[in-house]
Structure 1
Amino acid sequence: MIVVTGGAGFIGSNLIRALNDRGESNVLLVDHLVNGQKMHNIADLDIADYLDKAQFIEKIETPHFFDKVRAVFHQGACSSTTEWDGQYVMMNNYDYSKRLLNSCITKNVAFIYASSASVYGNGKHGFRVDRSCEHPINMYAYSKFQFDQYVRHLLPETRSAIAGFRYFNVYGPREQHKGEMSSTAFHFNRQIIEQKKAKLFEGCDGLANGEQRRDFVYVDDVVDVNLWFLDHPEQRGIYNVGTGKAETFNDVAQAVTDWHGEGSIEYIPFPEHLKGVYQSYTQADMTGLRQAGYAKEFLGVKKGIAKYLDWLNREQ
């Protein structure tokens, strides 16, 4: 059996879809369906069983629970970057992850987990998987960073298959439940349909309007990396998962209007509350992933968004 925590979420549900495409349906989906809208992400998936996160946590350390499990994809977390209840965030993202990892090590179960590019904070020191670049600036990022630190201490002491991925700006199918936290591609698509205009922030940090840059990565590429590490358990460590190429929000909006064959771009005032805490630039250093042996190329914004909108607008 394969366990996917956060299995009804964005990346988790896409992982299960890809496992199904491989003929793998012996999947335990773990989630916390307070937001019942997430059921739309999993209605077309084949799984063996479902457990609420609270039930799953109760079972983690029971003697034989992991006897038939061969891998855990740990995608579940409190992902809100505005949650400042540190005790809550650390309990959900750090303590839970530690307990799950240690149980996997005890049973020699592969543990593949979601970290976050948010550990790099404002990015002033770069985006390498290196302690000198890491400076989280919110509780979510800190919880992810501290778990990475825990993994770093454990890796030399075990030969278990452990891989963590610092996701950059992921977009693609099955993200609609995220509301305001959905990708800009999702929001621009809706804006073009409803208003014929994609709304972008004006420039900041000395950049022209819409010229802020992010490393936008398509969810299918993220899933492929996860599955590659499932197939290559000898590769262990923490890795960036982006494209390695920063592209502008103008590029994203243009890709959306190109797909629709209509629409324009409107620049709106940069929000006051984001000044000084906004990432104007992110770009994954992909050295570690390439050195591990992952050679597949990643989709750029133009091709990735076209693929996404083919799916998204068919589903409307």
Structure 2
Amino acid sequence: MIIVTGAAGFIGSNLVAGLNARGITDIMAVDDFADGHKCINLADLDFFDYLEYDDLAARMDAGEYFGDIDAIFHQGACSDTTEWDGRYVMARNFTYSKCLHRWAGVHGVPFIYASSASVYGMGPQFIESRSAERPLNMYAFSKFAFDQYVRARPSSSPVAGLRYFNVYGPREGHKGKMASVARHFSAQIAETGECRLFRGSHGYGDGEQRRDFIHVDDVVAVNLWLLDNPHVSGVFNCGTGRSQTFNEVADAVIAWHGRGEKRYIDFPDSLVGAYQSYTEADMGALRAAGYDRAFMDVQTGVPRYLDWLARQAG
């Protein structure tokens, strides 16, 4: 059996779909259904059992053995970068992760978890090195803290953390304001014929701020590669290794719709000093570990995502 936390979330549900595509349905889906809207992400997928996130932690703390577990994919977290209740974020993202990490080590189960590129703050380096890590908010700090915890505690089981960059793709509708710009741009064009981008900031021109945008299918592929290669441990970047502009994302969305324009809006004061205008994953560590699959660029991944959204709407 495979345990997937955050199974009803964005990356977690895509991971369940990826496992299903391999014929794997012996999955314990773990999530927090306080917001029941997320159930739609699992409605077309197959799994063996479901547990609320706090039930799993309580049973692990009690030393319960769940049978033969092939791996734990720990994707669940408070992912709201605007949440400043530090106790809440640390309880969800740090303390909970320690519980699963400890249990996996005791039982010799491979533990693959979601970290975040937000640990790098404003950059400019995006390499898995302590000198490059400067988190700017509680979400980023909680991910940074757990990476530090893992680094300091060698485990008897394989442990791999993936620092996700800007992930976009299917099954993110429940994320609201935290959904990808590709989704927001598409909705804006459908509603008004315009997509809204920030005017120039941080030395970049209008819409020319750059991020490493990675399609969720590529993220799933990396996770499944780690499942297939349990000898690989460490903290790894999970991006494409190539930054692209917000203008490029908007252009890909406009091309898919066959209409639309870009409108540039003022950069909000609330984001000054807390906004990543540039990210680009250094993929050297993951490549050195043996991952050799190519990643989709925005021009390929965005229309693939919008095709999926159109099928769901139909």
- Same fold, judged at TM 0.5 (above): yes
- Count of residue pairs brought into register by the alignment: 313
Corresponding residue number in structure 1 for 2:298: 301
Cα deviation per residue 1:154-183 (whole Å; 9 max; x = unaligned)?
23xx34111000000000000010001000
| Separation in 2, partners of 1:2, 1:27 | 5
Corresponding residue number in structure 2 for 1:92: 92
| TM-aligned CA deviation for residue 90 of structure 1 | 1.2
| TM-aligned CA deviation for residue 35 of structure 1 | 1.4
Cα deviation per residue 1:63-98 (whole Å; 9 max; x = unaligned)?
442332111000011111111121111111111111
2:9 corresponds to 1:9: yes
Corresponding residue number in structure 2 for 1:143: 142
Corresponding residue number in structure 1 for 2:126: 127
SS of 2:61's equivalent in the other structure is coil
SS of 1:60's equivalent in the other structure is helix
Deviates more, 1:2-11 or 1:256-265: 256-265
Corresponding residue number in structure 1 for 2:235: 238
| Separation in 2, partners of 1:121, 1:252 | 22
Cα deviation per residue 1:135-169 (whole Å; 9 max; x = unaligned)?
111111111111101111123xx341110000000
| Separation in 2, partners of 1:277, 1:237 | 27
Corresponding residue number in structure 2 for 1:154: 153
| Separation in 1, partners of 2:90, 2:63 | 25
| TM-aligned CA deviation for residue 253 of structure 1 | 0.2
Structure 1: tracts of 5 or more residues without a match: none
Q: Write the mapping of 1:74-223 to structure 2, written as runs, cut at 5 A.
A: 74-124=74-124, 126-155=125-154, 158-223=155-220
| Separation in 2, partners of 1:143, 1:64 | 27
Please report the TM-score for the alignment, with normalisation by the length of structure 1.
0.97
Aligned partner letter, 2:138: M
Aligned partner letter, 1:67: G
| TM-aligned CA deviation for residue 276 of structure 1 | 2.2
Specify which of 262, 265, 268 is matched with residue 268 of structure 1: 265
| Separation in 1, partners of 2:225, 2:10 | 19
| TM-aligned CA deviation for residue 314 of structure 1 | 1.6
Corresponding residue number in structure 1 for 2:247: 250
Asked whether the 8 Å contact 1:3–1:69 carries over to 2, the reply is yes
Cα deviation per residue 1:189-218 (whole Å; 9 max; x = unaligned)?
111111111111111012110000000000
| Separation in 2, partners of 1:291, 1:159 | 22
Corresponding residue number in structure 2 for 1:58: 58
| Separation in 1, partners of 2:11, 2:236 | 16
SS of 1:23's equivalent in the other structure is coil
Cα deviation per residue 1:47-69 (whole Å; 9 max; x = unaligned)?
10111111111111334423321
Aligned partner letter, 1:79: S
| Separation in 2, partners of 1:81, 1:94 | 15
Asked whether the 8 Å contact 1:136–1:142 carries over to 2, the reply is yes
Asked whether the 8 Å contact 1:66–1:107 carries over to 2, the reply is no
Please report the TM-score for the alignment, with normalisation by the length of structure 2.
0.98
What is the root-mean-square deviation of aligned Cα atoms in Å? 0.9
Corresponding residue number in structure 2 for 1:290: 287
Asked whether the 8 Å contact 1:27–1:49 carries over to 2, the reply is yes
Aligned partner letter, 1:54: D
Corresponding residue number in structure 2 for 1:21: 21
| TM-aligned CA deviation for residue 128 of structure 1 | 0.3
